[in-house]
Structure 1
Amino acid sequence: MANFTAYFTFFALIASAYAWGYLPNDGPPTWTGECKTGKLQSPINFERRTMEPTRYDKLIFMHYLNAGIVNLTNNGHTVIGTGFDTWGPYQPYIFGGGLKYKYNLVQFHLHWSSNDSTGSEHTVGGLHYSAELHLVHVRADLPLDVAQTTPDGITVIGVFMALGVQSSALTGLEGAIDKISTFGTKVQVNHFLPQTLLPVNIDSFYRYEGSLTTPGCNEGIVWTVFPDPIFITLRQLFLLRKMRTRAGTLLGTNVRPIQPLNGRVVRHDSLFFRSIVTFY
């Protein structure tokens, strides 16, 4: 298995194919390559009335209840948590739930906006949540350079974040987020528990084939998005909005607009159609 440096470099390369950002001069309308020409792009809008009800087997989250060290970094585009590959035999991974392979958790990152009601990338019925969390998993049996260009090589768990007065999800990260507003700064977080980033109710999820939501917008990504959110507080949103880009400007917003569905089928696996989701 590749080491931490390889994992971090892999995702840095995806995001650094050219100078890009979220401002008018470098934002999504200016992104090139597959971001412009792809037909299976993310994020999308979820409309329950048009979804295909589907029953999958159990979606299993292994080692999500184990705690370990992660590194939280401001990479100029988001707040990203890495280091799961250093957990050895306790590296979190997922399988089942209609996935064809085992996928190792390699990083998580956040999307938000300067407006409390437009911070998520995916939408439900055309409406945004205040923020969105992505847990990125890479197929365990493939080298990283192969996984990024292989259909089903990467799977992402998407979690909506609703505005609330309390947030157990980011409580353990809040102090670290406060220290990394400057581009390139990194803070080590001890005893981090991945399970805190998932909603209590995970008996239902949306599934579709899409892409990364940042350049190079690689397609063939398997998306699993939970309709039930976790919570984020106003203070935590304020801390995220303090993040600065490589140029030193406020990041403010890092949300890609909704992309055309182009005939894709979106499946909805709910408690009615599926068996229980299990943690180990």
Structure 2
Amino acid sequence: MVFCFECFMCFIWSLYGQLCESQFYIIALASIAALLMLCNVHTSFMMCTPGNGCALDVSTTTSSAVGAGYDYSVERGPHTWHVAESNQSPINIESREVQRINFDMPLNWVGYDKLPLGVRLENNGHTLLLRAAYDGASPFIDGADLLSCFSFHEISFRWSWHDGEGSEHTLDNQHYPLEMQCLHTDAADRCHASSRGLLVVSYLFTLSVENPFLNVIIRYLVAVQQAGQCAEIPPFPLNYLMPTFYSDFYSYQGSLTEPPCHRGAEWFISPIPLAISERQLHEFRKLRSRSGSRIERNARPVQDLCDRIVNLNRYRRV
């Protein structure tokens, strides 16, 4: 169904006039406020949907652009993707071979404790996406050695049917059962015409006890089990899923991990793995691909590091 803003406003004013004539002023004002709030959330999500305007249209560089032209099978898996060969992600991080970097300014996380207007989950047939709509500026990261301010765009997840796999990045050749990748875009580049100016903050998960913060999305995965399904869920601050960190995190220059795998993305890898239970992980494994089968694996294999350097960043308190 196509949303018509002009028709919606005509309906509001008509309703307002009828209620005012009947002298139910309080009911009129409450009704208008509720309808305008719904309109605001809907409009915000329209802006967050790729292809609906320049403000958040990064469809040529992010996981939002995935189509039916590839998957992770033998026929159309990563070994068949025609992408650049250098500076690709993910990578293996050898903790003994990283370059230690000290900086005087910590990472600055702004707005991640703010309650969004709405949160939407989407199963695009390859992965689970999470987007949030805000009244005003989206949460952003700056500070440390970042040369710009990076605004939150979306979250995607990587997993496998096997507990010993799942994550795209590895630490000392160890895979983790789940990886959460939080895409950010350069706030100064409003149209995001290329992959330059992308920051991906990655969190690895290890099997452990139940993670109550994950349940804010786990309980709603049943609504997006089929490819193409979307669901708007009760909003929550992003720091429920994204614990802030300020020091001892890894970083390197790489690419996005889905075709066309654009280069120019900076990666931050959180230093401390998060917890996920077997039950919670199983809920991700129920999500289905476009073929109707369960998504058994959606991780690109580790790529060659070549001459790139992985940094271990530490905030030096003065």
After TM superposition, is the score higher than 0.5? yes
- Determine the C-alpha separation between the residues in 2 that align with 1:5 and 1:39: 30
- Determine the C-alpha separation between the residues in 2 that align with 1:90 and 1:192: 16
- Determine the C-alpha separation between the residues in 2 that align with 1:247 and 1:99: 41
> Normalization by structure 2: what TM-score?
0.78
Q: Deviations over 1:218-274 (max 9, x none)?
A: 00101000121111111121111111111212111111111000110110013xx53
What one-letter code is carried by the residue in structure 1 that aligns with 2:108?
A: I
What one-letter code is carried by the residue in structure 2 that aligns with 1:27?
A: G
Residue equivalent to 1:125 = 172
Residue equivalent to 1:72 = 121
- Determine the C-alpha separation between the residues in 2 that align with 1:184 and 1:246: 8
Is 1:92 matched with 2:139? Answer: yes
What one-letter code is carried by the residue in structure 1 that aligns with 2:205?
A: M
- Determine the C-alpha separation between the residues in 2 that align with 1:101 and 1:201: 18
Contact in 2 for aligned 1:169/1:232 (Cα 8 Å): no
Is 1:149 matched with 2:195? Answer: yes
- Determine the C-alpha separation between the residues in 2 that align with 1:99 and 1:22: 33
- Determine the C-alpha separation between the residues in 2 that align with 1:161 and 1:126: 15
- Determine the C-alpha separation between the residues in 2 that align with 1:170 and 1:134: 14
Is 1:3 matched with 2:47? Answer: yes
Is 1:189 matched with 2:237? Answer: no
Q: Which runs of 5+ in 2 are unaligned?
A: 1-43, 51-55
Residue equivalent to 2:272 = 228
Change over 3 Å in CA distance of 1:12–1:210 after alignment to 2: closer
Q: Deviations over 1:147-199 (max 9, x none)?
A: x332xx11000000111221133111111112211011111122222112234
Is 1:21 matched with 2:71? Answer: yes
| Distance apart, 1:20 and its partner CA | 0.6
Alignment of 1:1-280 (within 5 A): 3-6=47-50, 7=56, 10=59, 11=62, 14-16=65-67, 19-34=69-84, 38-56=85-103, 57-68=105-116, 69-83=118-132, 86-146=133-193, 148-150=194-196, 153-199=197-243, 202-270=246-314, 273-275=315-317
- Partner SS state of residue 49, structure 1: helix
| Distance apart, 1:50 and its partner CA | 0.8
Q: Deviations over 1:59-86 (max 9, x none)?
A: 0111111122210010001000013xx3
- Determine the C-alpha separation between the residues in 1 that align with 2:112 and 2:64: 27
| Distance apart, 1:12 and its partner CA | 5.5
Contact in 2 for aligned 1:168/1:231 (Cα 8 Å): no
What one-letter code is carried by the residue in structure 2 that aligns with 1:130?
A: P
Change over 3 Å in CA distance of 1:163–1:145 after alignment to 2: same
What one-letter code is carried by the residue in structure 2 that aligns with 1:100?
A: L
What one-letter code is carried by the residue in structure 2 that aligns with 1:66?
A: K
- Determine the C-alpha separation between the residues in 2 that align with 1:215 and 1:5: 19
| Distance apart, 1:46 and its partner CA | 0.6
> Normalization by structure 1: what TM-score?
0.88
| Distance apart, 1:5 and its partner CA | 2.2
- Partner SS state of residue 96, structure 2: helix
- Determine the C-alpha separation between the residues in 2 that align with 1:122 and 1:13: 20
- Kindly tell me the number of residue pairs found equivalent between the two proteins: 265
What one-letter code is carried by the residue in structure 1 that aligns with 2:124?
A: N
- Partner SS state of residue 227, structure 1: coil
Contact in 2 for aligned 1:199/1:228 (Cα 8 Å): no
| Distance apart, 1:123 and its partner CA | 0.5
Contact in 2 for aligned 1:40/1:210 (Cα 8 Å): yes
| Distance apart, 1:15 and its partner CA | 2.5
What one-letter code is carried by the residue in structure 2 that aligns with 1:191?
A: P
Higher RCO (Cα < 8 Å, 6 or more apart): 1
| Distance apart, 1:128 and its partner CA | 0.9
| Distance apart, 1:13 and its partner CA | 6.0
Tell me the C-alpha RMSD between the 2 structures. Answer: 2.1
Change over 3 Å in CA distance of 1:154–1:75 after alignment to 2: same
Q: Give the structure with higher Rg (CA).
A: 2
What one-letter code is carried by the residue in structure 2 that aligns with 1:187?
A: A
- Determine the C-alpha separation between the residues in 2 that align with 1:274 and 1:130: 32
